[in-house]
Amino acid sequence: MPNMQTLLSNISKRIRQVYQKAEGFIEDEREFPLSQVFLNATFQRFVTDNVSMLKDLHADLHEDWLRLYATLDFKGLNITLSVDLKLIQMEMNKDTQLIVFEQISDTQVIDAKFKNVFQKLAVNMALFFYQKVLNKDPLGMILEKLNVITVKDDLLYLDLNRWLGKQRSIIDTLAKVHVNHAVLREAKLVVMGNVNLTALFRKMSEDPIEDWSLDEELSETEISPIKQKVNS
């Protein structure tokens, strides 16, 4: 019986410790700033490196909007396009990794190297036809053809699951941290999310029972998130 009491006592202390460490994150949505450099490195690794005709995809981040640059190499045509976008939605969890943009400018040709004069003429005519005659923009259509995004109701859906879903470490992290939304700031992306308490308790349950020996209480020098929040 004493052994059972000791075990129950240790379990109780373990639950209390995990709760004390996590309760500051249970309901409160927290901000996690990501730099422009980090975001572009993510595009490079999980998008550009997986699409052969897409040579570059990066963004300049500004207050509430971004400028996206895409460099394409197709049949002798090397062209860099830019477009201004507004971030509509960002959702990241173990099941969904989705970013949704609204296009707020026409596509601009930043640089182009043509195989010949006829190719240059064809590209310029196609751009004029889409933007001036059809009153549409070609960039969404081009990226959709490359299987990078999906266009619905004039919104651009970038579904990262096809690439991130293969990364076990990333999915394990997203099982614990849910990103609910994000806002654009100058040179950074600020994501808002919370920690999944269920995943934290699952992690606790996977630890060996011998690691549950917590006869000592939390050290007074150890600052839990809830204390840190109060003190800040």
- H or E segment to which residue 103 belongs: strand 97-103
Question: Model-level pTM?
Answer: 0.71
Contacts of 61 (CB under 8 A, 6+ apart): 36, 39, 184, 185, 186, 187, 188, 189
Q: What is the pLDDT of residues 57-69, one digit of tens each?
A: 999 999 999 999 9
Angle at 16 between CA 1 and CA 22, to 5 degrees: 150
Q: What is the pLDDT of residues 176-210, one digit of tens each?
A: 778 889 999 999 999 888 876 555 555 545 545 44
Top-confidence residue, 141 or 201: 141
- H or E segment to which residue 55 belongs: strand 54-62
Amino acid at 168: R
Q: 66 to each of 38, 60, 72, 104, 219, how far by Cα in Å?
A: 15, 6, 19, 10, 45
Instruction: Identify the pLDDT of residue 218.
Output: 37
Instruction: Identify the pLDDT of residue 98.
Output: 94
Return the domain boundaries, the chain: 32-194
CA distance 227 to 225: 5
